[in-house]
Amino acid sequence: MELYGPGRGLNELAMLIVRSCLLSVVFAASLGAQSDLPAFTRESVLPVWGKRPQSLMPGDLIAIYGRHLAPAGGCTQPLPPSGGPYPTELCGAQVTVNGIPAGLLAVLENQINLKIPADAPASGEAPIVITVRGIRSAPVLVPFGKPKVMLSLDGPVYVHMPVWIALDPYDARYPNSLLPENFGGGRFEVKHNGVLLKPLEIRRNGEPMIISGLLNGSIAPADSPRGRLPLHLQYRFDVPGRYEVRFIGTRMEPDPHAGIHSVQVEESDWTEIEILPYSAVQRELWIQEQVSKMPSSSPGLLIGDVIPGLLALPDQLALSAILPELYHSGVLVRRYVAASLPMFDTALLAKEITPLIREKGPTEEIARLLDGREDLFQGGHQAFVAALPSFLNSASPVLQAGALQYLIWEQNHDWGKTPQAENQRSAVVLNAAPGILERGDARSEQLLAEALGSIKSDASRNLLWRMIEDGKSREQSSIALTWIGDSRDLPRLAALMMQADPADPHGYQNSSLPYSLHRAYGDASLPWLRQAAQDAEQLFVRTSSAKELILANQLDGFQYLLRAIHEMPSFKAEAVQFMRDRFPDLRSAPEDAVLDFLKSRAGAQ
């Protein structure tokens, strides 16, 4: 049988070759399309502030993590003005939940934040599909619906003792924040004899809003006990008897008008618990047992069980047990203990903590506690400041840092701004500086640079230049010199800004210097900024200098910024956002309009 003879056989061979080539082209195109296919998994669909997957509900804010979720380079298209609905398409990206378009909050190559549509199912499973410029992901089924929260005790509970309460189905992880009594994503209500009790009130000094918690995340170490929360840190149980408890779950969400607000998302039924009697002798023996466990306990066990348990009754016994942990080697433990101290009576705390600090010294956590609460140290701030020199000269970097931090914050108070206080602070810091440079660590050196920056003298300038030359907190030291603002330092700082560092090729460390120079020296800095924008080897130094020139309304600043976009296209999104922030008329403008404006100001054709 003749396969490929003259005539028809050769024609068939040619057709097979052509067809094979066409199939190769189509296959290659298919592979290219697949490589850009949006991809994510069921496990990568998370609550916006959460770290673990959970069943979803209509109206939830979620984040989807994956690959190719937006066009290459990300998305700089602005959201609509506040108050309007979230768009269902941004930069060619769309998300559907059960076929319903979702409102988009943010679109990045590896992450999309969105709001689940109100019409999404309240139970079962539903598919989520991401489409980017016509390319659809595979549908990913995610669970919907949340079972009602069920409360139960973590064993028998007693007066003046810990009351740990479990919340099913949540795998609660405590602590949720550095404030022991704050559960972030939830709170409890308690009734006794039918009367709603008032939660404990704890005096604090304006700590920032906490958005972590049961529904919003946790700072608990991996080995902290799971599945329970310390009810005794929100309510005091001094009387035996039957109580009723209810959990209210909340979550922080963006608000078009207020920025962020709390939304209730859970509510358990009232659950009855019984608080049993417990004698003072029994409690004292229990505290001794807890203290004996502390040296061998991990940080997770200390702040997730032992210390919060001792806080059930904040008296002298509990205080004596936890105060030594202010000097724990783990910073999280130190911070948790310091944050728990306002739960104690002020007079008792001052009586117990003053001799301890005089003996062992201040840590940064102690400095934070005493800043603005000098009543906690017997004799007030003057007595505390008088005790600091010996700790500044300590061989312990932790104590050096604590003393320096307090002296830095002292300047924020009226009593720290007097000439007498400034002179005393300058003398103490300058005398201690050589020893800190010899025995300190990176943190104490950084704080030393901050402290020296508040002292306008040649002695502090010389020490800061010495730190720069020795490579000790180089970035903070150079910024601190701009706080002093001596004109003799401007040329040296400008030369420092231009120095290339093989270990930092893009210039992260020097990128803050242009702002600091402009802020400190004003127009005198512009020639140096112009030189850096044009000639600096490090890209971030050039772009930061260009931004400062634009803020000074200098033509060449626009030119340098435009050049940086051409040199590094990935910088375009940052440059566009800078222009929107700088020029209010551009805040809602699309990217092309912003770039056209930049070109016009740069005089580009």
pLDDT of residue 84: 60
Quick one: pLDDT at residue 254? Answer: 66
Query: Given a cut of 70, is residue 452 above it in pLDDT?
Result: yes
Is the same domain home to 253 and 237?
Answer: yes
Domain count, the chain: 5
Question: What is the arithmetic mean of pLDDT over 484-503?
Answer: 93
CB-CB neighbours of 477 under 10 Å: 26
Q: Of all helices (H) and strands (E), which one includes residue 32?
A: helix 8-35
What does the pLDDT read at residue 504? Answer: 85
Note the pLDDT of residue 81. 56
Considering the domain architecture, whether residues 362 and 474 belong to the same structural domain is answered as: yes
pLDDT at 263: 77
* pLDDT tens profile 66-77: 999 988 766 766
Q: Across 50-54, 258-262, 360-364, which has the greatest mean pLDDT?
A: 360-364
Mean pLDDT lowest among 294-303, 361-370, 487-496, 596-605: 596-605
How sure is the predictor about 35, in pLDDT bands with cuts at 50, 70 and 90?
low
**Range(s) of the domain holding residue 26:** 1-34
Q: Note whether 104 and 1 are same-domain residues.
A: no
pLDDT in the model for residue 7: 41
- Please tell me the distance from the alpha carbon of residue 401 to that of residue 440, in angstroms, as a whole number: 9
Whether residue 131 sits in one domain with residue 109: yes
Final residue of a domain: which of 442, 460, 484? 484
250-274 mean pLDDT: 77
Mean pLDDT of the chain: 87
Instruction: Tell whether 87 and 124 lie within a shared domain.
Output: yes
Task: Say if residues 61 and 105 touch (Cβ distance below 8 Å).
Answer: yes
Write down the pTM of the prediction.
Answer: 0.74
Rounded average pLDDT over 418-444: 94
Task: Please indicate, yes or no, whether residues 474 and 508 belong to a single structural domain of this protein.
Answer: no
Whether residue 298 is contained in a domain is answered as no
Q: Considering the domain boundaries, does residue 312 fall inside one? A: no
- Asked whether residue 468 is assigned to any structural domain, the reply reads yes
Please check whether residues 138 and 246 belong to one and the same domain.
Answer: no
Same domain, 394 and 521: no
Q: How much is the pLDDT for 147? A: 76
246-250, 262-266, 424-428, 514-518: least confidently modelled range: 262-266
Residue 479 falls inside a structural domain:
yes
Whether 47 has a pLDDT exceeding 90, the answer reads no
**Average pLDDT rounded to a whole number, residues 523-549:** 94
Domain boundary among 484, 517, 540: 484
Q: How many CB atoms lie within 10 A of CB 423?
A: 11
Question: So what's the pLDDT on residue 34?
Answer: 52
What CATH number did the domain enclosing 92 receive?
2.60.40
Considering only 78-87, 183-192, 332-341, 497-506, which range has the smallest mean pLDDT? 78-87
Over 60: is that where the pLDDT of 213 sits?
no
* Residue 550 falls inside a structural domain: yes
Cis peptide before 505 (omega within 30 of 0): no
Would you give the DSSP letter of residue 303?
I
- Confirm whether 133 is domain-assigned: yes
Question: With 60 as the cut, is the pLDDT of residue 82 above it?
Answer: no
The first and second tokens of residue 16, run together, are 């097979």
Q: Give the Cα separation of 312 and 477 in Å (integer).
A: 45
Summarize the confidence of residues 573-579 as an average pLDDT: 92
For residue 26, pLDDT over 50 is answered with no
CA distances from 273 to 170, 222, 225, 312 (A): 19, 29, 21, 17
The answer to which of 156-165, 252-261, 435-444 has the lowest mean pLDDT is 252-261
- pLDDT bin (cut points 50, 70, 90) of residue 442 is very high
Tell me how far apart the terminal alpha carbons of the chain are, to the nearest angstrom. Answer: 71
Tell me if 505 is assigned to some domain.
yes
Q: Are residues 473 and 369 in the same domain?
A: yes
Which residues have CB under 8 Å from 142's CB, separation 6+? 42, 45, 53, 56, 125, 126, 127, 128
Weakest-pLDDT range from 290-294, 439-443, 571-575 = 571-575
**Strand, helix or coil for residue 554:** coil
**Whether residue 28 has pLDDT greater than 50:** no
Is residue 31's pLDDT more than 50?
Answer: no
Residue that is last in its domain, among 242, 260, 277: 277
Mean pLDDT of 336-340: 95
In a domain, 416, yes or no: yes
pLDDT at 377 over 70: yes
Same domain, 213 and 156: yes
